[in-house]
Amino acid sequence: MPARTGQQFVEGLRKQPRDVWIAGGRVDDVVTHPAFQNVVRSIAALYDLQHDPARRDEMTYVSPSSGERVGLSFLPPRTRDDLVRVRRMMKIWSDYSGGMLGRSPDYLNRAVMAFAAAADYCGENDPRFAQNVRRYYDLVRERDLCLTHTLINPQANRSVGPAGQPDPQLAASVVRESDRGIVITGARMLATLPISDEIMVFPSTLLRGQDEDRPYAFAFAIPCGTPGLRFLCRETFDPTGTAFDYPLSSRFEEMDAVVIFDDVLVPWERVFLRGDVERANKAFSATGAVAHMAHQVVTKNIAKTEFILGLASLMVDAIAIEQFQHVQGKIAEIIYYLEAMKAFARASEADAAIDRWGVMTPAWPPLDAARNMFTWMYPRMIEILQLLGASGMMARPTKADLDSELRPLIDKYFQAARMPAAERIRLFRLAWDVALSSFGTRQVIYERFFFGDPVRMQMATFGSYDRQPCVDRVREFLAREAEAEEAPATTPASKG
Ligand SMILES: Cc1cc2nc3c(=O)[nH]c(=O)nc-3n(C[C@H](O)[C@H](O)[C@H](O)COP(=O)(O)OP(=O)(O)OC[C@H]3O[C@@H](n4cnc5c(N)ncnc54)[C@H](O)[C@@H]3O)c2cc1C
């Protein structure tokens, strides 16, 4: 099957009922439910972009198995040019939402691609698993499935691992296995985009013990409608209002859900890792998946920063504050963040190398810097929008106000130096949705945490970055100074 259209994505959701709960009720149909219908449309629009005849070569490539054109984010890169090509495709998807749809399907497409290329890693756990992961990648690519994933165990008590919790089945674990597969009970914290077709339940939280943590060490993927699988969503941030009033919330509310497994049977052909704590702990780094996912992340960061730069520039221009030095400084700051992200992306491609699985893998250090620095750059950009917009962020009547008898007053009192009132309100409502609404605030915590806890990510950088050449250089410098000090002073010959 070739790359899907939006309509085919929507039909896929309709065909697969799932157990999704929100605000105390079970959702009958995610396609029509007010909390999900708009984001379903947005994801469908991404799939439709694959069918724009002008973009065919940018968005798709020819499948090696079916000969059909499939999504380019499934491409296993063999050259640096392939990486650039994939980034350009991912940028088109990211630009569609100004980077606000963090979980466009390319994010996890990069992960399944990398896991399949490194299938032997899973095969070392059990030879069947290598075949499983390869077949799964083929399935996802050929059917153009949309994936969500869940990695983190429930937060209950972070001072102990999953086996140390008062109830050992708090965290999802293997409770039984049979010739049909493994059976999972317990919960995982947070899967964004529960309107996906399938869920990857992969390892991430570092498991500490060996024997007691074995039931928690696994990787598998199943359809979101699998019996016993339940998604408990937070309340929606989509007020289902007009796009004028809620330009982002009404389009890109991805939703986050806690995932609860109640005796869920995972057939053996969907199991990729099982009971191997060490292999589970290293899965994302050893397969290269983390680098390919981070390549998507830096692309999204570029799109998001460009969007914020454009937005801030329009705000500055609208209310004529460009002459103030601190305003120029704040815009310059966003430009530096943007240029840093672009440089990280390019450096990761320029320094890419073929990994042990034969895949051209983007260099990790620049991507590691990008993912960590964005955790504070993004909140700072939101602060800048608030500082530039000031009370204008509050002076933003709704579409209903504009359509009311108050319109003449609104036209007069809400005008901006270089924009009529309606245009200024549309712009500042967008700024509010980025910087202040529930949707915007969720974007901030998303950027702080979605790729992991920044504290532990920094600890990982500290532990893994090769600082030795820098240390040696300073040692040499100090030795040179010490040598100079110890050398006998040359005294000028005395006159007799
Ligand atoms: C909006 C949003 C969407 C997300 N979507 C997904 C998703 O789709 N799929 C998915 O798998 N995950 C998702 N996540 C989860 C994300 O991966 C985690 O938030 C992240 O890994 C941090 O884990 P935690 O939230 O459990 O924080 P915790 O581990 O509970 O940390 C809480 C606090 O304790 C500190 N802390 C805890 N343990 C340690 C330690 N050992 N050393 C030092 N400090 C520690 C942390 O620094 C932090 O300040 C999402 C998160 C957010 C916020």
Say if residue 46 is in the same domain as residue 152: yes
Residue type present at position 412: K
On whether both 14 and 133 belong to a single domain, the answer is yes
Instruction: Decide if 480 is inside a domain.
Output: no
Query: Of 261, 286, 311, which marks where a domain is finished?
Result: 286
Number of Cβ within 10 Å of residue 320's Cβ equals 11
Q: Given 286, 315, 350, which residue is the final one in a domain?
A: 286
Mean pLDDT by runs of 10 across the 496 residues of the chain is 95 97 97 97 98 96 97 98 98 98 97 98 97 98 98 94 92 96 97 98 83 95 98 95 94 98 98 96 96 98 98 98 98 98 98 98 98 98 98 97 98 98 98 98 98 94 96 96 80 54
Q: What is the pTM of this model?
A: 0.96
In angstroms, rounded to a whole number, what is the distance separating the alpha carbons of residues 224 and 147? 9
CA of 71 from ligand 1 middle (Å) equals 30
The 10 Å Cβ neighbour count of residue 129 is: 25
| Residue 452 CB–ligand 1 contact under 6 Å | yes
Do 271 and 313 fall into the same domain? Answer: no
| Residue at which a domain ends, from 222, 255, 286 | 286
Whether 88 lines ligand 1, by a CB cut-off of 6 Å, is no
Give nearest CA residue, ligand 1 atom 47: 455
- 233 DSSP β-pair partners: 257
Instruction: Give me ligand 1 centre to Cα 175, in Å.
Output: 25
Q: Are 50 and 3 in contact (CB under 8 A)?
A: yes
- Tally of structural domains, the chain: 2
Distances from the Cα of 349 to the Cα of 80, 83, 355, 375, 417, angstroms: 6, 7, 13, 22, 44
Q: Is 156 in the pocket of ligand 1 (CB under 6 A)?
A: no
Query: Do 379 and 255 share a structural domain?
Result: no
Residue 89 covered by a domain: yes
Atom of ligand 1 nearest to the CA of 155: 30
Q: Tell whether 320 and 413 lie within a shared domain.
A: yes
CB-CB contact of 50 with 59 (8 Å) = yes
- Are residues 267 and 295 both part of a single domain? no
Per-residue pLDDT tens for 228-258?
Answer: 999 999 999 999 888 999 999 999 999 999 9
As beta bridge partners, residue 173 has 185
Atom from ligand 1 closest to the CA of residue 152:
11
456 lines ligand 1 (CB under 6 A): yes
User: Which residues span the domain enclosing 433?
Assistant: 289-466
Q: Residue 340 maps to which CATH number?
A: 1.20.140.10
Calculate Rg over the CA atoms of the chain.
26
Domain assignment present for 203: yes
Q: Which atom of ligand 1 is nearest to the CA of 455?
A: 47
DSSP state of 72: G
Tell me, what's the pLDDT at 492?
59
